[in-house]
Amino acid sequence: MPSYILEMRDITKTFPGVKALSNVNLKVEEGEIHAICGENGAGKSTLMKVLSGVYPSGDYEGQIIYRGQECHFRGIHDSEEKGIVIIHQELALVPMLSIAENIFLGNEHAKFGVIDWGANEKRTRALLKKVGLSEDPNTLITNIGTGKQQLVEIAKALSKEVELLILDEPTASLSEKDSQALLDLLLEFKREGITSIIISHKLNEINRVADHVTVIRDGRTIETLDRSEISEDRIITSMVGRSLEDRYPPRDPKIGEVFFEVKNWSVYHPLHADRQVIKNINLNVRKGEVVGIAGLMGAGRTEFAMSLFGRSYGRKITGEVELHGKPVDVSTVGKAVKQGLAYVTEDRKVFGLNLIEDIKNNITIANLKGVSTNGVINDLRELDVANEYRSKTNIRSPSVYQKTGNLSGGNQQKVVLSKWLFANPEVLILDEPTRGIDVGAKYEIYTIIARLAAEGRAIIVISSEMPELLGISDRIYVMNEGAIVGEMPASEASQEKIMRAIVRGEGKAA
């Protein structure tokens, strides 16, 4: 008889118009790593918010039994007191404060309200060492990468004497290497007796670390799988209710002449005028071709894409963009859109969505012309469009009037994608298009990409998931430190070859 550290019984949680959870059950054993899987909007994050007191007792039905005691958390302070710490899907660090300040925010070592920075710094150093960071505690959060920020979040959790650590999609925006480090850390914690609950759409990671997997579908517990039963296919079948034959849709690429070409593209850092971020990039995409850009986090791929798209990043931008062999002006976002460019951002909350508006208004905002005549919006046409794209990308919501801020992470991503699909671009640049998206929805997005390519558009996909790039692209560029360091047809590419190109590039740069 295993001893359970946590039992959640018959948890039901409703939002206006949405039943996010209905009678969900979850049992977590002491000292294990317990994974929670499910499609976008299945209710995973909601369940964890119930557990951690984000939704206080009384806001939901059901029981939470922690260490044999029924708990009624009124807020996260209550749950933290018991050693339950949650790290949310979207990081909650203050960018302009230092690592140490962030770790002890609201929890500072202080005497009579005066902060003892010496003590804080010492503790921070110890905590950082534990999570494998060698950063100076005084470094500002904005100056470290996402992977390290995630580790700082964990260090912060450790500072609270954590017994049950909840991680909501911790590796969604991490590079392969950083993800590995994070998972190793979880295994290390497990040896120390800390129990973890991890939510992730990266099934290979779950496969690697989880002792149990609980699958949630449409707000209901489907089953809990044992270590021995865990396999990617098994999880998928349980998640989507059927087995998924292929991870990538079949394609029959008909590649035409060069359609979109970037020549000698150079960009400097917006703040440090002498730092060249993008170094003389040359790249082309043919009609009907899907081109992938591989690289590690921080290789400058997003910066490259954003600088192309209406100079939305950087300064002292030089170089040329050609469509159909003719130079075109893409110096503002408006002009770029008019030329048929679209850029689907990797950061949906900051750059992609107006979170206080509904799905409908977000989908049409980049192409209001398409739903209006002489500046007057045709409401019904707009509603039709919104509904059409909502079903095309399979956005899960009660209606298109749902505020995007209330959607699950993956569904938010689909709204951003819908927005740009409706703009009907000739050249579509997708930056991490499947970040935080479940396997089923990934397949749908790949299908959309394949369809757009088949229609003769040019597509650029930036992704840190190499299998994905290998699965959907026709040709792959490898980027490192702001420069293209390799190019290969997808048929000849492999993860090793891409990595080798990166390493070779690094050797050259040094």
Partner 1 sequence: MSTDIAPNPQTGVATDIPAGTRVPVSSFVSNLREYGLILALIAIMVFFQLTTGTLFKPVNLSNLVQQNSFIIVMALGMLLVIVSGHIDLSVGSVAGFIGALAAMMMVIWPLGGFFANPLVVAILCLVVGGAIGAAQGYWIAYHRIPSFIVTLAGMLVFRGLCQGLLGGGSSVGPLPDSFKALSSGFLPEVLGTWVLIPPTVNAAGKTVFGSGITLNLTTLLLGIVAVLAYAISGLRARRTREKHGYEAEPFALFVVKTIVISALALFFVYQFAVYRGFPIVLVVMGILVAIFVFITRHTTIGRRVYAMGGNIKAAQLSGIKTERLTLLVFINMGVLSALGGLIIAARLGQAVPAAGLGSELDVIAAVFIGGASAMGGVGQVISTVVGGFIMGVMNNGMSIMGVNVDWQQVVKGLVLLGAVVFDVYNKNKG
Ligand X SMILES: Nc1ncnc2c1ncn2[C@@H]1O[C@H](COP(=O)(O)OP(=O)(O)OP(=O)(O)O)[C@@H](O)[C@H]1O
Answer with the entry of ligand X, partner 1, Mg ion, none that 41 interacts with (C-beta below 5 to 8 A by kind): ligand X
Give start and end residues of each alpha helix (H) in 397-462: 409-422, 439-454
- CA-to-CA distance for 399 and 386, rounded, in angstroms? 10
Task: From 71-79, 82-90, 450-458, 496-504, give the range in contact with Mg ion by CB under 5 A.
Answer: 82-90
- According to the binding rule CB under 8 A, does residue 357 interact with partner 1? yes
- According to the binding rule CB under 5 A, does residue 45 interact with Mg ion? yes
Reading the block at residue 429, the tokens are 């640049």
Reading the block at residue 87, the tokens are 């790290």
- According to the binding rule CB under 8 A, does residue 334 interact with partner 1? yes
- Candidates 14, 95, 2, 115; CA nearest to 58 is 14
- According to the binding rule CB under 6 A, does residue 236 interact with ligand X? no
Which SS3 state, helix, strand or coil, does residue 226 take? strand
Answer with the entry of Mg ion, ligand X, partner 1, none that 40 interacts with (C-beta below 5 to 8 A by kind): ligand X
Reading the block at residue 228, the tokens are 């021995």
- Asked if 185 and 216 touch (Cβ cutoff 8 Å), the reply is no
CB of 396 to ligand X, least distance (A): 5
Task: From 26-34, 236-244, 346-354, 400-408, give the range in contact with Mg ion by CB under 5 A.
Answer: 400-408
- Candidates 156, 198, 152; CA nearest to 178 is 152
Task: From 15-23, 180-188, 190-198, 425-433, give the range in contact with ligand X by CB under 6 A.
Answer: 15-23
- Asked if 293 and 479 touch (Cβ cutoff 8 Å), the reply is yes
* Virtual torsion, Cα 323, 329, 335, 341, nearest 10 deg: 30
| Size, binding site for Mg ion by CB under 5 A | 4
- CA-to-CA distance for 447 and 24, rounded, in angstroms? 32
Torsion angles phi and psi, residue 411, rounded to 5: -70, -30
- CA-to-CA distance for 230 and 233, rounded, in angstroms? 9
Answer with the entry of partner 1, Mg ion, ligand X, none that 332 interacts with (C-beta below 5 to 8 A by kind): partner 1
Q: Which of residues 12-41 bind partner 1 (CB under 8 A)?
A: 16-17
DSSP labels, 462-489: E-S-HHHHHHH-SEEEEEETTEEEEEEE
Answer with the entry of ligand X, partner 1, Mg ion, none that 46 interacts with (C-beta below 5 to 8 A by kind): ligand X
Q: Which of residues 46-85 bind ligand X (CB under 6 A)?
A: 46
- According to the binding rule CB under 8 A, does residue 377 interact with partner 1? yes
What residues are paired with 323 via a beta bridge? 260, 326
- According to the binding rule CB under 8 A, does residue 58 interact with partner 1? no
Q: Sketch the per residue contact string, 394 through 413, with partner 1: x for CB under 8 A, - otherwise.
A: x---xx-xx-----------
Which residues of the shown chain bind ligand X in the complex (CB under 6 A)?
15, 18, 20, 38, 40-46, 89, 396-397, 406-411
Report the interface residues with partner 1, using CB under 8 A.
16-17, 218, 241, 309-310, 312, 332-334, 336-337, 343, 345, 350-358, 361, 365-366, 368-369, 372, 375-377, 379-380, 383-384, 387-388, 390-391, 394, 398-399, 401-402, 419
